Amino acid sequence: MVMLYLFNSPLGPISYRWDGEACQEVSLSAQIGMPESVDPVSEWLNAYFSNQQAPLPLLAEAATPFQERMRQGLLAIPFGEVRTYGEIAATLHTAPRAMGQALGGNPLPILIPCHRIIAADGLGGFSCGIEWKKKLLKFERSF
């Protein structure tokens, strides 16, 4: 059974859907959920917000092979660093626009760090809102 949990991060509430085996979705908005749980997602989030490393929890499968390649490309970007849409698209042998569309459909923000992708001339977009993107980048750069 998929349960919705609430994680109170230093940047604001985060909710996530956990089915007991894999994280299905992460939402960077205040949603009603079960109180904080001790599971691989909460453990990873605690480590992330403490600037520590923890093994990534099992994640729901990517919808397409391209999205799986995108995930691997994003996971290769170190904490506190950014890449442009063009840079990550070149690494993955695709177009920046296709990359942007795939990023917009990322159901696992933070865990799959799409916030680390910026436009060549600014921040670019973020499906969770530009304020969350700014907060996450500022947080990562503070370490």
List pLDDT tens digits, range 37-72. Answer: 889 999 999 999 999 999 999 999 999 999 999 999
Residues identified as active-site: 114
State how beta strands 3-9 and 12-18 pair.
Answer: antiparallel
The total of other beta-carbon atoms located within 10 Å of residue 28's CB is 24
CA pair distance 84, 120, nearest whole angstrom? 6
Mean of pLDDT values over 69-77: 95
Question: What's the pLDDT band for 89 if we cut at 50, 70, 90?
Answer: very high
What is the reported pLDDT for 38?
Answer: 85
**C-alpha dihedral over 117, 48, 135, 86, to 10 degrees?**
0
Of residues 123 and 34, the one with the higher pLDDT is: 123
Q: Which residues pair with 23 in a beta bridge?
A: 18, 59
What is the reported pLDDT for 29?
Answer: 81
User: What class is the 65-140 domain?
Assistant: mainly alpha
- Residue 14, SS3 per DSSP: strand
